[in-house]
A = this chain, B = another copy of it.
Amino acid sequence: MGDICLSHFDSRGRARMVDISKKDDSIREAVARGEVIMSPETLNIIAGGTAAKGDVLGVARLAGIMAAKKTQELIPLTHLISLTSVAVDFRLQPPARVEIQARVRTVGKTGAEMEALTAVSVAALTIYDMCKAVDRSMVIQNIRLISKSGGKSGEFWREGEEKWE
């Protein structure tokens, strides 16, 4: 394994922010997904959420969008990038699963994978926070990168994943 180096460390193992000064600006997109597993009763409460009863997913969506903008404060060696688009979406999968998707775009020198994954994670944590008084056994699952495009490393699409309509 000695041959493989992680780019976030220099040759002596010192953590650093990787130099992207000479990379070109391009439009880059990343999509990430994750899930919150919960009791069917909790899912029903979320499903019934409206402006009148309390919109759990609306709060979680905003939390995810705002967290995407904070990624570089949270993940130590990430670069500040200016996101040009963020969308966070949900799919209820009864009886016991809420799926979360974040799609982010940037025009810059490095991709937005971490921003998409952070948006999903914080949206999931926010769902947990809002429902924890009725269901403390929820589990956040399966946070993963779905796709990535733009930049030199080319297209990535995780096998076995379908597009959300």
Which residues of A35-55 have CB atoms within 8 Å of chain B's CB atoms?
41, 44-45, 48-55
Interchain CB contact under 8 A, B130 and A6: yes
Interchain CB contact under 8 A, A51 and B51: yes
Complex-state Cα separation, A109 to B63, whole angstroms = 24
Complex-state Cα separation, A107 to B108, whole angstroms = 11
When A54-B13, A107-B21 are in contact, do A82 and B81 touch as well, CB less than 8 Å? yes
Main secondary structure of the interface of A (DSSP, over half): mixed
Complex-state Cα separation, A55 to B56, whole angstroms = 13
Chain A residues within CB distance 8 Å of chain B: 1-2, 4-10, 12-22, 27, 34, 41, 44-45, 48-56, 58-59, 61-63, 65-67, 69-70, 72-89, 105-109, 113-114, 117-118, 121-122, 124-126, 128-134, 136-145, 148, 156, 158
Name the 6 nearest CB pairs between A and B, nearest first.
A9-B54, A19-B85, A140-B143, A17-B86, A21-B84, A13-B54
